[in-house]
Chain A
Amino acid sequence: MLHSLKQFGSGARAAVNVVTSALPIAIIGGLLYAGFFVKAEAVINKVEPKAVERRDNFFSVVAPDAQIAWAAGTGGKIVRSDDGGRTWHRQDSTTLENLQGIAAWDAQHAVVAGNHGVVLYTSDGGSTWKHAQVPKSDNPNKLFRVHIFDGVAWAVGEFGSLLRSDDKGATWTRAMEEKDRAWNDVFFRGRLGWLVGEFGTVMRSTDGGATWSETALDNKVSLMGVDFRDDLNGVAVGLTGTVLVTSDGGQTWREVARPTREHLLDIAWDEKRWVAVGDKGVMVTSDAAANEWKAARISEGDVSWRTQITRAGDRHYVAGANLAVLDGGTLTIVGR
């Protein structure tokens, strides 16, 4: 073939010579360039984090209606379900603080509270969470729980923090003077209100939270949760299985036999029975009388701690070391 180039004269042959001389240099040069300068930039798989990650703890869960639920937890995590807890999606909370409490007025309006006085509220179902105006002091301003009673949001926390918001979470005011004692839970029925906290303290209000008086108790164990099924009958639970019961609207409390030695961290009346959850998968239940308590695991073999249980229709949501849905005795852990 190179022979046939002869007819094109010396110019063509020179061109061929140039090409054949330049070719190896070009190939080798190209490879050397690649070897020295091209980094192994392989296609990196994009990793989309799941809504509920392994590391997440959820401290609080709320269900404004049968289908919708919100949960809040570590690292500023807020997730929401619109299908009764089957699927969850993550919402942008704009914070990395641990969020300990969440409450909702309806499907659109909700509020979360957490460490360092972080309180966020939404009025669009959680598409955007805005920072609320919160009175802070020079302690860590750790808030534990937030609840809504008659449209008013109440938050409790360390150093005697009791905050209220009358504008769906946007601004908060202090409802009680600070004191070196943590409030762990608050409950209202109309004008009647109860606060429980560290060192076994219970406070009671009869004027919608304007003034509070301490109830005398023998119990010194920290109380973690309180709930009432009517104006008279209520239950408070606390560490190492403490259960206190009242039948006179919280004026006097009696301690019942401890159903467990594990910490009990939340109590709820689910219209049929009392149910409390706590450490190591423990769940204790009682009928309305609240005298006989039965301890069991929330599910066979489950040993996770739980800080909140809330009912929505036929099912319960439980928040804690993980987020789970309890439906007719079957516990489904989200994200497993």
Chain B
Amino acid sequence: MKNETFSKVERLFATLIRHRAWVVLTVAVMTAFMGWLASHVEVKTVFSDLLPKNHPYVAVNQRFKSTFGGSNMVSIMLEVKDGTIFDPAVLAKVQKITVGLQQVDSVDTYQIISIASKKIKEVRASTEGVESRPIMWPELPKGPAEIAVLKEAVLNNPLIYGPYVSMDLKATLITADFLDGDINYSRAFDQIMSLVGQADGDGVMVRVVGEPVLYGWVNFYLDETIRIFFAAIASLVIILLLITRTWHGTVLPLLAGVVSAIWALGAARLMGFHLDPLVIVVAFLITAQAISNSVQLISRYDDEIAQGARSSAAAAVASAKNLFKPSMLAIVCDAGCVLVVALTPIPMLEKISYIGTVWILSIFVSALILTPVMLSFFRPGGGPVHPINIRPVLDAILRTCAGIVTTRMRYVVLGLTGIVFLVSGWYAFNLKVGDANPGSPILWPDSSYNQDATDINRQFQGSDRMFVVVAGKEKGALREPEVLASMANFQRYMEAQPEVGGSISLADILPQVRRVLREGNPMYAELGNDAAENSELTYMFVSGSDPGDMDRYADADARNGAVTLFFRDHQGETIRTAVARVQDYVANNPIEKAEYLLAGGLVGVLAAVNEVILAGQIEAIALALLVLVVCCTVTYRSTVAGVFFMIPVMLSNTITFSYMALNDIGMNINTLPVVALGIGLGVDYSFYIVDGIREELHHNPNVERAIVKALSSAGRGVLVTALTLITSVGLWSFSSLRLQADMGLLIALWLFISAFSALFIMPAIVYVFRPAFVVGSKQRPIERAEPAVVV
């Protein structure tokens, strides 16, 4: 920094410290106000926030979800230990749950389907012709004879036997759709679980899965999440106190973190955003930045005191002055990197990006201003607050760093770095987009939810749905033999994929009706010969049923219909294969009167999310690097600086991606926030170290000495921050939510790589390559520092 700028900054902080009471009061009032706002931030999951905007699949889902079933489906399975479900007690339970679901909040009462609902019907020939009637509605069968009739009706109907009653007759399924708009996952979850709880037992096991239940579980663990959050903060305090042995070294970083968090949450409320419990871990990522900046200032303050600063205020000003440039660079650069994430067209990421940007910018007040001002209140001197001294350990680590940089070891470090970069860069291509495991990656594999999912997928065709819309060019298109035959053939084609457990469409129903009409002869279980016959078959099926009962297969004027595919899992690979196969089929089997539209249901929207994630993430990395390079180039007036600081960022990205690939953590909607925000956050530590070297060269032209000095001052700050945060973030691995544990580890890894690059790699690069923007050149030598101004 130029001497002139130095003195400006110095005067600014001197003024702030002179009016420190006012500064503190202002910040306190602002924080109180923001705190009041923050306390009104809603903690909830909004599914529609996860859906990419303007994606054709999502558009199809939004347009048709109310008829063909959206992404919010709950599947409840009742399974008996002995015997079959054709037992009065079991059937009564099925009926009780089916009726009870009507009362659950946000349930789509027209989309509750079970053998006890009005929706499941059999078509039978009678003296008056053909009638379709519900098989077990409104009354339960009375006595063994009626149960035998029910069993026969089930066995004889491939639309029930298989999809709603398992092949071994030991399980039956109840499905319910939830309205997307204002669903309160916690409330719906509690109500469903109470129904399930009542039915469970007496030899009947009840399993329940579906997105609303999944998010219900996440909310269920909210208390635990909050406990871990506070435990993490407590451990942060303890470790800071242990390492720094001073109250100011403990309290002020925490204060910076808390003030920032409050401002950010208050701003979130002002912007009308809510908080997703799943991304609470992300808060730690940003809090880490606040704490890191504060610790640097305190570390420098302690050095100034140790070197005999006249007063606490003088040391605070000196600290703020000297670190102003790297901290500003870190804040602006991080904020920019986080802001570019908003370009990913997923509303949740956009919101997180805006909140994150405000959060990072608030560090300017919470750490850059507040920390020096508060430091000025502390009286220098005074012994350590506890006798345990681990400073020698830190010093030993820092001496090792210095030792490596100043010996031939630096070449080894650089060589290894190069190898790690290449290997991890290559391995990172194994990163899976979408979920990497069956079941939900949010919860542990042995969680009751994931076990329920396994059980249901064992007995039934699959609990995750995707609907493909068959959009007719005109009314009645879905009665055309050409269209129906194409749908049937499409289903056969799709079912060849092992993960597709089954499928259903109008093309499955009409043959059943036709068979009944033809004396039950299975040789007639096929589509009608022409549109008129298909229309008649449809009429037969619909007659006597409620308007809307046909809706999940086709709309009333037979223009648009759906093929619903059931998936046994929603892994990225499964979804991509299925989508590619749909496209493949459509390309190879064009039909005149209709077109196939991808795709709705959970699997459909996940397909959209997965398609957006990869491109979005690469874009975000590119733009974050751009922000970084621009910031560094402008700050140091050197393009070399841009390249230089790209190194730690690229390294932390490739290693993190490799770690995710290695541990089967897929890049999905839940992991993306951490990964995306993390892009730009790896570089702060390096700013402090490199700037420390540069500032040291103001006083002394010896590069080696400057590096050693910077490592011992800024390096200590880096080490303290990294140790503190890595330990407290590690507490998340005890979470009942696998996602939080995974993300905690990921953040810890991120912090570790950043700290490692700053302490070992960057100094070595400076030493070996002597970039002009650090060490100066003939044309632009480093300006010599003036003697300190007296405050």
- Footprint of B on A, CB under 8 Å? 1-3, 17, 20-21, 23-24, 27-28, 30-32, 34-36, 38-40, 42, 44-45, 47-50, 53-55, 57, 59, 74-75, 96, 98, 100, 115, 140, 144, 222, 224, 239, 263, 265, 279-280, 301, 303, 305, 307, 320-321
A residues within 8 A CB of B639?
A: 17, 20-21, 24
B residues within 8 A CB of A49?
A: 493, 496
Closest CB in chain B relative to A332 CB, distance in Å: 16
- Cα(A2)–Cα(B611), bound, Å: 44
- Contacting A at CB under 8 A, from B235-252, are none
- Contacting A at CB under 8 A, from B590-648, are 610-611, 614-623, 625-626, 629, 639-640, 642-643, 646
The answer on a CB contact under 8 Å between B646 and A39 is: no
Q: Is B576 an interface residue (CB 8 A)?
A: yes
The answer on a CB contact under 8 Å between B615 and A42 is: no
**If A38-B618, A39-B615, A280-B155 touch, does A28 touch B522 (CB 8 Å cutoff)?**
no
The answer on a CB contact under 8 Å between A40 and B610 is: yes
B576 nearest CB neighbor, chain A only: A42
The answer on a CB contact under 8 Å between B522 and A305 is: yes
The answer on a CB contact under 8 Å between B770 and A3 is: yes
The answer on a CB contact under 8 Å between A303 and B525 is: no
Closest CB in chain A relative to B574 CB, distance in Å: 9
A-B contacts, 16 listed (Cβ < 8 Å): A2-B769, A2-B772, A24-B629, A24-B639, A28-B629, A31-B618, A31-B621, A35-B616, A44-B577, A48-B496, A54-B502, A55-B491, A59-B522, A265-B522, A279-B156, A303-B161
Instruction: List 4 additional A-B contacts (Cβ < 8 Å) besides A27-B646, A35-B617, A48-B496.
Output: A44-B577, A75-B492, A263-B520, A303-B161
Q: Is B339 an interface residue (CB 8 A)?
A: no
The answer on a CB contact under 8 Å between A224 and B521 is: yes
The answer on a CB contact under 8 Å between A47 and B496 is: yes
- Contacting A at CB under 8 A, from B753-791, are 768-772
The answer on a CB contact under 8 Å between B625 and A24 is: yes
**If A74-B526, A115-B526 touch, does A280 touch B156 (CB 8 Å cutoff)?**
yes
- Cα(A98)–Cα(B769), bound, Å: 75
- Cα(A27)–Cα(B654), bound, Å: 14
- Cα(A32)–Cα(B622), bound, Å: 5
B168 nearest CB neighbor, chain A only: A301
B433 nearest CB neighbor, chain A only: A40
**If A20-B640, A47-B497 touch, does A239 touch B520 (CB 8 Å cutoff)?**
yes
The answer on a CB contact under 8 Å between A307 and B522 is: yes
Closest CB in chain B relative to A56 CB, distance in Å: 8
Q: Is B407 an interface residue (CB 8 A)?
A: no
The answer on a CB contact under 8 Å between B619 and A32 is: yes
B633 nearest CB neighbor, chain A only: A24
Q: Is B133 an interface residue (CB 8 A)?
A: no
Per-residue interface assignment for chain B, residues 301 to 334, with 1 indicating a CB less than 8 Å from any chain A CB and 0 otherwise: 0000000000000000000000000000000000
- Cα(A144)–Cα(B619), bound, Å: 60
Q: Is B223 an interface residue (CB 8 A)?
A: no
Residue B615 contacts which of A3, A35, A48, A144 (CB distance < 8 angstroms)? A35
A-B pair count, CB < 8 Å, reads: 126
A77 nearest CB neighbor, chain B only: B492
- Cα(A53)–Cα(B491), bound, Å: 11
| B contact residues, range | 35 or more
Q: Is B529 an interface residue (CB 8 A)?
A: yes
Closest CB in chain A relative to B650 CB, distance in Å: 8
Residue B770 contacts which of A1, A280, A320 (CB distance < 8 angstroms)? A1
A239 nearest CB neighbor, chain B only: B519
Q: Is B416 an interface residue (CB 8 A)?
A: no
The answer on a CB contact under 8 Å between B522 and A100 is: no
- Cα(A100)–Cα(B611), bound, Å: 43
A residues within 8 A CB of B619?
A: 31-32, 35-36
B residues within 8 A CB of A35?
A: 615-622
Choose among B618, B625, B646 the residue with the greatest number of A CB atoms under 10 Å from its CB: B618
A221 nearest CB neighbor, chain B only: B519
- Cα(A135)–Cα(B497), bound, Å: 39
- Cα(A315)–Cα(B338), bound, Å: 71
The answer on a CB contact under 8 Å between B622 and A31 is: yes
A residues within 8 A CB of B502?
A: 54
B496 nearest CB neighbor, chain A only: A49
Closest CB in chain A relative to B70 CB, distance in Å: 24
B156 nearest CB neighbor, chain A only: A280
B residues within 8 A CB of A48?
A: 496
- Cα(A57)–Cα(B511), bound, Å: 12
The answer on a CB contact under 8 Å between A44 and B580 is: yes
B residues within 8 A CB of A2?
A: 769-772
B residues within 8 A CB of A265?
A: 521-522
A46 nearest CB neighbor, chain B only: B577
The answer on a CB contact under 8 Å between B520 and A50 is: no
A residues within 8 A CB of B489?
A: 75, 96
Residue B576 contacts which of A34, A44, A222 (CB distance < 8 angstroms)? A44
Q: Is B488 an interface residue (CB 8 A)?
A: yes
B residues within 8 A CB of A303?
A: 155-156, 161
B residues within 8 A CB of A45?
A: 573, 577
Closest CB in chain A relative to B680 CB, distance in Å: 13
Choose among A31, A75, A263, A265 the residue with the greatest number of B CB atoms under 10 Å from its CB: A31
Q: Is B495 an interface residue (CB 8 A)?
A: yes
- Cα(A90)–Cα(B588), bound, Å: 20
B residues within 8 A CB of A36?
A: 615, 619
The answer on a CB contact under 8 Å between A32 and B488 is: no
Q: Is B234 an interface residue (CB 8 A)?
A: no
Residue B525 contacts which of A39, A50, A53, A57 (CB distance < 8 angstroms)? A57
A48 nearest CB neighbor, chain B only: B496
**If A222-B519, A321-B522 touch, does A53 touch B643 (CB 8 Å cutoff)?**
no
- Cα(A53)–Cα(B493), bound, Å: 10
- Cα(A50)–Cα(B495), bound, Å: 10
The answer on a CB contact under 8 Å between B523 and A144 is: yes
**If A53-B495, A74-B526 touch, does A24 touch B622 (CB 8 Å cutoff)?**
no
Closest 3 CB pairs of A and B: A35-B619, A31-B622, A49-B496
- Cα(A45)–Cα(B577), bound, Å: 6
Q: Is B53 an interface residue (CB 8 A)?
A: no
- Cα(A30)–Cα(B621), bound, Å: 11
- Cα(A225)–Cα(B770), bound, Å: 95
Closest CB in chain B relative to A335 CB, distance in Å: 12
Q: Is B485 an interface residue (CB 8 A)?
A: yes
Closest CB in chain A relative to B169 CB, distance in Å: 8
Closest CB in chain B relative to A14 CB, distance in Å: 13
Closest CB in chain A relative to B255 CB, distance in Å: 37
Closest CB in chain A relative to B294 CB, distance in Å: 30
Closest CB in chain A relative to B610 CB, distance in Å: 7
The answer on a CB contact under 8 Å between A28 and B614 is: no
B residues within 8 A CB of A224?
A: 521
A residues within 8 A CB of B572?
A: 42
A residues within 8 A CB of B496?
A: 47-50, 53
A residues within 8 A CB of B525?
A: 57
B524 nearest CB neighbor, chain A only: A142
- Contacting A at CB under 8 A, from B477-504, are 485, 488-489, 491-493, 495-498, 502
A residues within 8 A CB of B55?
A: none
- Cα(A27)–Cα(B523), bound, Å: 64
- Cα(A140)–Cα(B611), bound, Å: 46
The answer on a CB contact under 8 Å between A28 and B622 is: yes
Per-residue interface assignment for chain B, residues 401 to 431, with 1 indicating a CB less than 8 Å from any chain A CB and 0 otherwise: 0000000000000000000000000000000
Q: Is B559 an interface residue (CB 8 A)?
A: no
Q: Is B705 an interface residue (CB 8 A)?
A: no
Closest CB in chain B relative to A144 CB, distance in Å: 6
A56 nearest CB neighbor, chain B only: B492
- Cα(A334)–Cα(B266), bound, Å: 64
Closest CB in chain A relative to B569 CB, distance in Å: 14
- Cα(A263)–Cα(B639), bound, Å: 85
- Cα(A30)–Cα(B619), bound, Å: 10
Residue B523 contacts which of A50, A100, A239 (CB distance < 8 angstroms)? A100
Closest CB in chain B relative to A280 CB, distance in Å: 6
Closest CB in chain A relative to B248 CB, distance in Å: 40
**If A3-B770, A222-B519, A307-B522 touch, does A28 touch B156 (CB 8 Å cutoff)?**
no
